Amino acid sequence: MNQKVIIKYCPGCRWLLRSSWMAQEILTTFENEVDEVSLRPFREKSGTFQIFCNDELIWCRVRDSGFPEIKELKQRIRDVISPGKNLGHSDRK
């Protein structure tokens, strides 16, 4: 199965840099599990920031009250793509 992550962001809000940093973190942490990370500018609704993992919405800036901490984002991706993966320091409380 092709494991993919899509980061949908508002270009008008200038969230490309944040999105690309998160993509880099995802690709580094899940180098053997994730096949694709896509950055998708979303112009239809200002303020959009959503992350999908295999078509499942795992983060929404509106629903989840802001942007994810990278630790929580990695945990949510892990739970969908590779539930048994140890995230090392990202798993510590």
Which of 87 and 91 is assigned the larger pLDDT? 87
The Cβ of residue 57 has, within 10 Å, a number of other Cβ atoms equal to: 13
Cα-based distances in Å from 68 to 1, 2, 5, 32:
26, 24, 15, 23
Tell me: the pLDDT tens digits for 44-60?
999 999 999 999 999 99
From CA 52, how far away is CA 55, in angstroms rounded?
5
Average pLDDT on 2-27 reads 97
pLDDT at 88 over 90: no
Tell me: the pLDDT tens digits for 17-33?
999 999 999 999 999 99
CATH code, residues 4-82: 3.40.30.10
- 3-state secondary structure (DSSP) of residue 45: coil
pLDDT at 93: 59
Please state the domain extents for the chain. Answer: 4-82
